[in-house]
Structure 1
Amino acid sequence: MTAQRIAFLDVDGTIIDAGEVIAPSTIEAVQTARANGHLVYLSTGRASVEIYPKIRDIGFDGAISAGGGFAEIGDDLVIARTMPEEAVARMVGFYEESGYDFYLQAFAELYPSPGVRGRFASYLQDDQERRGETRTDLDSVTDGREHPALKAFANVRPLSYTGIAKSVFLAGDLTAYDRVSEALSDDFHVITGTIPHMGRGSGEVTLGGVNKGTTILQLLDLLGIDAASAIGIGDSTNDIEMLQVCGVGIAMGNATDVVKAHADEVTTAVLDDGVWNAFHRHGLI
């Protein structure tokens, strides 16, 4: 067996596809790699509360969530890179003044604006035909009843300005990303959205310097593991820094060309054994 490695896996587009199904080979790859003594961590833009139980039940050694806002070793929260209250207030004020829907990600809570649930409900309704064409030999990571996102975004309550690590803004206006970037990028890290169906002007915002890559480096320091031993696998804009800091950065076959340009190599697509092939190539399985 090769020396112990540590792998960081994005969720959407890497572990599951847009139809929220997972290839059996991905589950096998994660579980076999861990049985062989390697570490496998999630590294996602989702908040911890948005990571479905069927994903966590695969078995991971920990997770980076909210695009680098938080990191867990096992069930222990070890890193929290949250925004000062005044920064959250500034960000929310701009969204509300601009009329954009948004939600805030804390470690265990989501704080949506009133229009967010409707956006997700509309997408899910429009997506039923495509979902009907999803391969039936694959397992869905949702429970088949009310979609978890609809449950999470139904709870519209007063916003919290403490413990917030990231926001997602949602807009059909193609100028929204440019406007948010112009208004906030002096203090914040603003990237294009990794949820394409939520509007082509959408995006994600963390504090300046907070991303998956910088949090991975902090986590590796806590674990006493050199970054050269790390493998990062992803497909979206918020994965770029992860691919850059890991010893091997691997883009999924379904990744954007921009993401592929930052990777050391490209594996196959999410439902074409992409994770399994990457793990096999590097001796984890």
Structure 2
Amino acid sequence: MENKLIFMDVDGTLCNPSGIVPDSAKTAIKTARSNGHKIFLCTGRSKPEIIDEILAVGFDGVIGAGGGYIEIKNTVLEHKLMPEKDVRDIIDYFEKHTIGYYIESNSGLFGSANCLSSIISQISNGAIEGSVEYEQAIAEFDWFKKILDDNAGKAIDYGFVNKISFISNGHPYDAVASKFGDTFQMHRTTVAQFGPQSGEVSIKDVNKATAIATVLDELDIDIKHTLGYGDGNNDIDMFNAVAHGVAMENATPSLKALSHEITPTADDHGIALSFKKNGFI
């Protein structure tokens, strides 16, 4: 068969809810690459969130920050940044409305003073502190908390920001979108655990589809040789930019409606099963 270029979302697709890549997916990716197929991460995560355990699987490139960052074979092809003045305006708004947020930069993730408490409030879902349910919810968040903790107190370069994510606190998402939607791309509930009024503010007209088009042009690969694997609404752009979209069983109804194939969840070996079905392994 002809070699394919495969774009792989991370959260809810490559990784399970605890942020772990199942061994079956690791083996499938390594085997597919050894068979000549190219595999790119295609994620909303910024570079610091793409932890070593994920990169160790081995990929041919990375699309990060929802399309704002492109890396091919460890060489940066493109990196788009938010204007510093706008970053400060967004932060001022969040601070005024006591909205927990974190700044996503390739030099780190930087949380507001109430970022961690806001996230814990959402992901614990009302569970009593110290209960089994509470501890399980917090444990799944450990890897992300560590990144925030590692960058706490460090100086922030406001001119080196990829995007800004915010957490539900009762303030309507629509109010944030109304305030900044004309200038920036707004994405609602990109991390479901952060609540229904959560979201992110990113660069206008930059998404997974625009990044995929750049990669195809750079590698001189026809779209007919492409696939995308995803689970969330921020993968809709990716599915519109590839020839074959594979939705995970846990995907949103909107994404499933666009898919050519539905595969089981990460923990149920969905990546490996789909790779085998499509002849990549």
Distance 1:63 1:231 in 2: 15
Give the number of aligned pairs.
Answer: 274
* Runs of 5+ consecutive residues of structure 2 not aligned to the other structure: none
- Aligned: 1:153 with 2:169: no
Change (3 A) 1:96 1:193: same
Tell me how far 1:118 sits from its aligned partner.
2.9
Question: Identity over the aligned pairs, expressed in percent?
Answer: 32
Gaps of 5+ in 1: 135-143
After TM superposition, give the deviation of residue 183 of structure 1 in Å: 0.9
TM-score by length of 2: 0.89
CA offsets, 1:92-117, max 9 Å, x none? Answer: 22222222111111123212111123
1:257 aligns with 2:253: yes
- Are 2:10 and 1:3 equivalent residues in the alignment? no
Change (3 A) 1:15 1:132: farther
Asked if 1:184 is matched to 2:172, the reply is no
Q: Could you list the per-position Cα deviations for residues 191-235 of structure 1 after superposition, in whole angstroms to 9, with x for gaps in the alignment?
A: 112222222210012111111111111122111112221111000
Aligned AA for 1:59?
Answer: G
1:74: how far off? 1.9
Q: Map 1:42-121 to 2 at 5 A.
A: 42-121=41-120
Q: Please report how far the alpha carbon of residue 147 of structure 1 lies from its aligned counterpart in structure 2 after TM superposition.
A: 2.9
Deviates more, 1:75-84 or 1:5-14: 75-84
On the 8 A contact 1:232/1:250 being kept in 2, the answer is: yes
Distance (Å, rounded) in 1 between the aligned partners of 2:187 and 2:29: 29
- Residue 67 of structure 2 contacts residue 210 of structure 2 at CA under 8 Å; is this kept in 1? yes
Corresponding position of 1:129: 132
2:118–2:168 contact (8 Å) kept in structure 1 = no
Q: Which secondary structure state, in structure 1, belongs to the residue aligned with residue 280 of structure 2?
A: coil
Aligned residue among 238, 254, 269 for 1:242: 238
For 1:92 and 1:114, the matched residues in 2 are separated by 12
Aligned residue for 2:167? 170
Q: How far off is 1:176 after superposition?
A: 2.6
- C-alpha offsets along residues 258-284 of structure 1, whole Å, 9 cap, x if unaligned? 221222222222211211122222221
Q: Counterpart of 1:138?
A: none
Going from structure 1 to structure 2, the CA distance change for 1:272 and 1:84 (only over 3 Å counts) comes to: same
TM-aligned CA distance change 1:116 to 1:243, over 3 Å: same
8 A Cα contact 2:118 2:169, kept in partner = no
Would the alpha carbon gap of residues 99 and 166 (structure 1) be closer, same or farther in structure 2, given more than 3 Å must change? Answer: same
